[in-house]
Amino acid sequence: MWETALETEPMRAVLERAGSYEQRIMRLFGIPESEIARSLREIEADGVPIETLEITTCLRRGEIEIATVFEPPYADVYDAFRDAIRARHADTLYSEDGSTIDDQVIAALAGHTVAVAESCTGGLMSARLTERGGSSDYFLGGAVVYSNEAKTALAGVPADLIAAHGAVSPEVAATLADGARERFGARIGIGITGIAGPDGGTDEKPVGTVCVSVAGPDGERWDRSVLLPGDRATIRERTTTVVMHGLRRRLREAEAVRRA
Amino acid sequence: MWETALETEPMRAVLERAGSYEQRIMRLFGIPESEIARSLREIEADGVPIETLEITTCLRRGEIEIATVFEPPYADVYDAFRDAIRARHADTLYSEDGSTIDDQVIAALAGHTVAVAESCTGGLMSARLTERGGSSDYFLGGAVVYSNEAKTALAGVPADLIAAHGAVSPEVAATLADGARERFGARIGIGITGIAGPDGGTDEKPVGTVCVSVAGPDGERWDRSVLLPGDRATIRERTTTVVMHGLRRRLREAEAVRRA
């Protein structure tokens, strides 16, 4: 009886329509959700009939995901919507094809090698870079340098640099990145130091203070100091996301230089 | 109206009874769920009226959790049930008070220091040991030694040992544990090497083959080679659980020696 129902003409029409919905996903990093909400309102006010699209925005692991479902006749509206998002958020929109930051970084790492020296993330950065099979093609190794002595012994951070700037500082992050490159013989080095909490924060460097650095082979680097919200687990995970985006940026710049 | 209903005598009686249920949790490691099911049947056949208890068994992260809810008058039945489980599964029952393996290991690490040299887990072992605040009291650092060169350079595994036994071998796991101890100056060293897959398996060493070692200060060690089921993520996570149990065993033996 069910199969017969599926074969009736109205049911078929519904199924055909249902089957032909399109879905597109855009991803942005480093932008508050409220800003996307405002953009949606303004894009609609500018005359793009986005009411013909079904748009949902979702904050996920520190990133914004915009998922849009629409019927094929409205593909032009979607393109106009995407172009408007692109124009407004060029600096934070990193994916128009649904690919995740992990997809993009792993694809971009082909032909490169990477190594990590991390403190507050406690191994999660290396774990993220080795999550997928075949990661030994690009990942050489990592040092989890929790104690100051380990930072010096395993990543070559001079003790007086730590004394001068503190273990959580841009200087130490940069030196960790360089140390990771050298110790593992990798093309790219990642350095991470921060305060994941709940203890260890100060007025000057509260819990959530994180300094990261991505160093390439010719002395070029990408550095960032951020103050991340959330509990210990969130701060640790968000830190790896910040680094993944830094890594993507560094790899793209290197690719642009290579092609130029 | 709802508040009035809550104050009626029958309702109060129900709520009082509901509030007085007791819950107990036991945890076992290294035992198939089917064996617990058989134990439950046999304990009941032996005359323990476990039908007065509400027992649920759950396989979680490679461990068995037995959660029991009962009314206070049946506390004696629960004690008889627990004693029967204890008698049958003394070697795998590790928690009678609901504490997790992480709770127990972290408590036992007080006054000790630990360091890791890990390969297939890619940083997850260090990440697990640093999951909680205050972990810098006992965790000194870790090396994620993915490439053979990193195993040699960062954990002191001789290249000819790898050549003779293969990177995934009990010999290399033991040397990684020793290397972790020495390089980080830690009391306890953990060594992990294995094949998380999906590639890299052979007939002799299939995907899921994992060798781990926990080395203490006086040359005493706990070694294990296992074949873990599941996909890459499962094998990586289960490996850290195997090590946590090895670490617990080593720390308890050390404590027993100290007290003797």
Interface touch A122/B140, C-beta < 8 Å: no
Same domain, B85 and B118: no
Domain co-membership, B109 together with B94? no
| Mutation target among B130, B149, B190 for the A interface, most CBs of A within 10 A | B130
DSSP A137: G
**In angstroms, how far is CA B85 from the centroid of its own chain?**
18
Q: Which residues on A lie below 8 Å from B141 (Cβ)?
A: 143-147, 150, 154
Residue A47 has pLDDT above 80, yes or no: yes
Beta bridge partner(s), residue B70: B22
C-alpha to C-alpha distance for A171 and A211, rounded to whole angstroms = 9
- Both B110 and B126 in a single domain? yes
**Six token digits for residue B221:** 């060690």
Same domain, A148 and A233: yes
Beta-carbon count within 10 A of A37 CB: 11
Check if B123 contacts A (Cβ < 8 Å).
yes
Task: Give residues 41 to 80 of B whose Cβ lies within 8 Å of A.
Answer: none
Query: What is the pLDDT at residue A1?
Result: 47
Residues A145 and A156 in one domain: yes
E strand or H helix at A57: strand A54-60
Q: Which residues of B fall within a CB distance of 8 Å from A122? A: 123, 126-127, 129-131, 135, 139
Sheet holding A114-118, edge to edge: A221-227, A209-215, A188-194, A114-118, A139-145, B139-145, B114-118, B188-194, B209-215, B221-227
Residue A46: per-residue pLDDT: 96
B138 vs A contacts (CB less than 8 Å): none
**Test mutation, B121, B125, B126, chain A, max A CBs within 10 A:** B126
Q: Give the per-residue pLDDT at A8.
A: 65
CB-based contact A150 B197, cutoff 8 Å? no
Mean pLDDT of chain A: 92
- Helix axis angle, A101-108 to A232-259, nearest 10°: 40
Chain B residues touching residue A125 (CB < 8 angstroms): 123
What is the average pLDDT across A102-125? Answer: 97
Residues 220-259 on A with a CB inside 8 Å of B are 232-233, 236
CA atoms within 13 A on the CB side of A40: 15
- State the CATH number of the domain containing residue B79: 3.30.70.2860
For residue B135, which residues of chain A lie inside 8 Å, CB to CB?
122, 146
B149 min Cα distance to partner chain A (Å): 8
Low-confidence ranges of chain B (pLDDT < 70): 1-19
Picking from A69, A99, A129, the residue at the C-terminal end of a domain is A99
Sign, CA torsion B137/A161/B153/A112? positive
Domain span holding position A176: 102-259
Predicted local confidence at residue B63, as pLDDT: 93
Contact present, A161 and A171 (Cβ < 8 Å)? yes
SS3 call for B182: helix
* Pairs of CB atoms within 8 A across A/B: 125
pLDDT band at A256 (very low <50, low <70, confident <90, very high): confident
- Cβ contact A133–B185 (<8 Å): no
pLDDT surpasses 60 at A130: yes
A140 CB within 8 Å of a chain B CB: yes
Per residue in B119-144, pLDDT (tens digit) is 999 999 999 999 999 999 999 999 99
Whether A156 and A92 map to the same domain: the answer is: no
- The ipTM of this complex is 0.89
Q: B189 CA to chain A: closest CA distance, Å? A: 14
Q: Which residues on adjacent β-strands are paired with residue A115? A: A141, A189
Instruction: Specify whether B178 is located in the same domain as B249.
Output: yes
CA distance B132 to chain A (A): 8
User: Structural domain tally of chain A?
Assistant: 2
Residue-level pLDDT at B196: 97
CA of B194 vs chain A CAs: smallest distance (Å)? 13
Q: Which of B84, B99, B114 is the last residue before a domain boundary? A: B99
Surface of B (179-198) touching A: CB under 8 A: 183-185, 196-198
Residue B61 confidence (pLDDT)? 79
Chain B interface mutation, best of A118, A144, A199, highest count of B Cβ atoms under 10 Å: A144
Between CA B138 and CA B95 the distance in angstroms is: 22
CA distance A191 to A243: 9
Domain check: are A146 and A165 in the same one?
A: yes
**B-chain residue closest to A116, CA distance:** B144
Distance between CA atoms of residues B243 and B224, nearest Å: 9
Residues A162-209 pLDDT 10s: 999 999 999 999 999 999 999 999 999 999 999 999 999 999 999 999
As given in the structure block, the two tokens for residue B238 are 């289960």
Give the separation between CA B226 and CA B211, rounded to whole angstroms. 6
Joined together, the tokens standing for residue B189 give 């060293």
Helices (H), chain A: 2-7, 9-19, 33-45, 75-88, 101-108, 124-129, 148-155, 159-165, 170-184, 232-259
Give the model confidence (pLDDT) of A6-34 as tens digits: 566 666 665 555 568 999 999 999 998 89
Do A112 and A233 belong to one domain?
Answer: yes
CATH code, domain carrying A219: 3.90.950.20
Question: Looking at the partner chain, which of A121, A130, A145 has a beta carbon nearest the beta carbon of B146?
Answer: A130
User: In this structure, how many other beta carbons lie within 10 angstroms of the beta carbon of residue B150?
Assistant: 25
Point out the domain boundary residue: B68, B99, B130: B99
Site from A146, A148, A151 to mutate, B interface, most B CB atoms within 10 angstroms: A146
Structure pTM? 0.90
Determine, for residues B150 and A139 on separate chains, whether the beta-carbon distance falls below 8 Å.
no
**Strand ordering across the sheet containing A93-95:** A54-60, A63-70, A22-29, A93-95
Q: Are residues A94 and A107 in the same domain?
A: no
* B197 and B209 co-located in one domain: yes
Do A130 and A89 sit in the same domain of this protein?
no
